[in-house]
Amino acid sequence: MMDTILSINNISKRYGKIQAVSNLSLEVNRGQVFGLLGPNGSGKTTTLSVILDLIKANSGTFQWFGQAPSKESRKRIGSVIESPNFFPYLSPVINLKIVADIKDHGYDDIDRVLNLTGLYDRRNTRFKTFSFGMKQRLAVASALLGNPDVLILDEPTNGLDPQGIAHIRELILLIASQGTTIIIASHLLDEVQKICSHVAVLSKGKKLFDGKVSEVLAISDSYELSAENIEQLTMIVRTHPSFSSVTPGIEKIQVYFKEIVNPEEINLFFFKQGVILTHLSERKRSLEQHFLELLDQNK
């Protein structure tokens, strides 16, 4: 049985005339790296603000760890929602001691989170000398104080250079590998594809899709095929039970199927028809293609 960490049931939030979130329902299970994916204004930050009790929903409910939200459940959640905000003239160690005091934690976890985020060697340097990427990592370190069950990150790589993005990505994967459930809001498809195990696509406050990232990526958009006799190949492929359409070519054809067909099945199908394939390559759709299709369908 899956261990449900977060359950969102028909949450809606309106700001005046703007419907920021509309009847959103989601489940996040233990150990998942769950991505909320959508363009700016899709309701990602509003959703995170509701489940962190920073704002109240107009309707709907949510549960943490199978229970109504409480002070106790919030202690099991670490979050980075806004830009890193620490005292500029103080060191990471002093800043984290202040955060620990606010959270009512001891100081014994500070070295662990500094090591984990790669900041231990800079622990006594003033915060104001940090790069934006290091500031972001210190924000993650502060969220990890007390070893929470869940880490929530809102656009964790926003404004970072490629090296900073890579550092944050590696850090998230490392934290996830240690058993922490992670919820990330992002408008970057590439980020979600590389980091997340599960994804929910949002647009204008509505959920368009949710599921495993691997399932989205497993859907083949098309296959590229070639054989000695291209005309014969093109004619025979039309008889495949799952055939949808074909784009002809001089040396190769591109075939689209109505449902998932694996390469072995295709090879066997043509072999039985007396055709030996000289080329067979799968063209998997990316999360980006799926995302754009969903947005296009919901205009």
Q: Is the pTM of this model over 0.85?
A: no
Task: Residue 127: give its domain's CATH number.
Answer: 3.40.50.300
33 and 181 share one domain: yes
pLDDT of the chain along its 299 residues, tens only? Answer: 469 999 999 999 999 999 999 999 999 999 999 999 988 889 999 999 999 999 999 999 999 999 999 988 998 999 998 777 899 999 999 999 999 998 888 899 999 999 999 999 999 999 999 999 999 999 999 999 999 999 999 999 888 888 889 999 999 999 999 999 999 999 888 888 889 999 998 988 999 888 888 776 655 568 899 999 999 999 999 999 888 888 888 889 988 887 778 889 999 999 999 999 999 988 766 666 666 766 666 66
86 and 207 share one domain: yes
120 and 233 share one domain: no
Task: Determine the Cα–Cα distance for residues 161 and 170; give it in Å rounded to an integer.
Answer: 14
Domain boundary among 186, 216, 246: 216
Helix (H) or strand (E) holding 134: helix 132-144
State how many domains the chain has. 2
Q: DSSP assignment, residue 87?
A: -
Domain boundary among 216, 240, 262: 216
196 and 180 share one domain: yes
84 and 137 share one domain: yes
154 and 293 share one domain: no
* Domain encompassing residue 255: 219-297
pLDDT of residue 217: 61
190 and 268 share one domain: no
39 and 182 share one domain: yes
170 and 267 share one domain: no
Domain boundary among 169, 194, 216: 216
Task: Determine the Cα–Cα distance for residues 164 and 33; give it in Å rounded to an integer.
Answer: 20
Contact 23, 188 (CB under 8 A): no
* CA dihedral over 119, 165, 147, 55, signed as positive or negative: positive
160 and 245 share one domain: no
pLDDT of residue 88: 94
Contact 171, 140 (CB under 8 A): yes
211 and 224 share one domain: no
Helix axes 162-177, 132-144, angle to 10 degrees: 20
pLDDT of residue 20: 94
Task: Residue 278: give its domain's CATH number.
Answer: 3.30.70
Task: Determine the Cα–Cα distance for residues 182 and 68; give it in Å rounded to an integer.
Answer: 20
49 and 116 share one domain: yes
